[in-house]
């Protein structure tokens, strides 16, 4: 398995499918139909923050890594305008804005993690998080942070097994009906002190 930053051109379609499979539950209402939603998701991914796991030509998983100095530079407005049109882009961006989480200070924030269904159980999620730990160490950041939704207990159990602790839980109200989730749990993992 090879894990790198950036999205090879031959993996764009598969990456959009993985992200849609993983997040359509909370994104289908604000982003609408699958085809345009997948175009939007791929359009807003910044190669400087996107990480992919591949085995040869097979895309196994994706995630986004950000911190206060490494943020996405994607122009969400331009992407939404090109896909939905000027007037329809505005409400769509307003509806997804509450999902835009800023990385907590002193942490590498793990976001948009998705593993191909056929690759689950093969350690892809663990390897992606190990890569995130390496990146955090390279950047001098002492911790990893991520958010997990209440409807994904399998992911929360994986994160707990990998040493993540629950830091806080916040309600998705007043957007529960829109995102189809009740709450988000922030989990963090302190990394070993740098030598």
Give the pLDDT confidence of 95-139 residue by residue, as tens digits.
Answer: 888 888 888 999 999 999 999 999 988 999 999 999 999 999 999
70 forms beta bridges with 67
Say what the pLDDT of residue 195 is.
52
Q: Which long-range contacts (CB under 8 A, 24 or more apart) does 101-107 make?
A: 101/147, 103/66, 103/67, 103/68, 103/71, 103/145, 104/145, 104/186, 104/188, 105/68, 106/141, 106/142, 106/143, 107/67, 107/136, 107/141, 107/142, 107/143, 107/144, 107/145, 107/188
Band the pLDDT of 47: cuts 50, 70, 90: confident
Domain boundaries, the chain: 2-141
Report pLDDT for 194. 59
Q: What mean pLDDT value characterizes the chain? A: 91
Q: Write down the pTM of the prediction.
A: 0.90
In angstroms, the CA 104 to CA 186 distance is: 10
Instruction: Report d(CA 42, CA 60) in Å as an integer.
Output: 16
Question: What is d(CA 67, CA 110) in angstroms, rounded to the nearest whole number?
Answer: 9
According to DSSP, the β-strands at 165-171 and 2-5 are unpaired
Q: What is the rounded distance in angstroms from the CA atom of residue 105 to the CA atom of residue 102?
A: 9
Fold (topology level) of 2-141 = Aminopeptidase (3.40.630)
Span 76-102, pLDDT tens digits: 999 999 999 999 999 999 988 888 888
Evaluate whether 44 touches 72 at the Cβ level (below 8 Å): yes
């Amino acid at each position: 398995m090879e894990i790198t930053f950036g999205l090879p051109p031959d993996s764009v379609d598969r990456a959009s499918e993985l992200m849609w499979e993983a997040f359509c539950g909370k994104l289908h209402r604000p982003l609408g139909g699958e085809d345009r939603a997948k175009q939007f998701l791929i359009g807003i991914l910044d190669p400087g923050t996107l990480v992919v796991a591949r085995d040869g030509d097979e895309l196994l998983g994706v995630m986004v890594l950000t911190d206060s100095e490494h943020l996405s530079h994607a122009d969400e407005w331009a992407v939404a305008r090109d896909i939905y049109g000027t007037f329809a882009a505005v409400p769509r961006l307003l509806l997804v804005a509450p999902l835009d989480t800023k990385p907590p200070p002193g942490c590498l924030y793990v976001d948009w993690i998705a593993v191909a269904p056929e690759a689950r159980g093969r350690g892809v999620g663990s390897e992606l998080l190990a890569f995130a730990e390496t990146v955090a160490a390279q950047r001098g950041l002492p911790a990893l942070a991520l958010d997990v939704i209440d409807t994904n207990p399998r992911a929360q159990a994986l994160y707990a097994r990998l040493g993540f602790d629950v830091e806080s839980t916040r309600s998705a109200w007043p957007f529960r009906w829109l995102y189809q989730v009740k709450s988000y749990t922030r989990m963090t993992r302190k990394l070993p002190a740098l030598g």
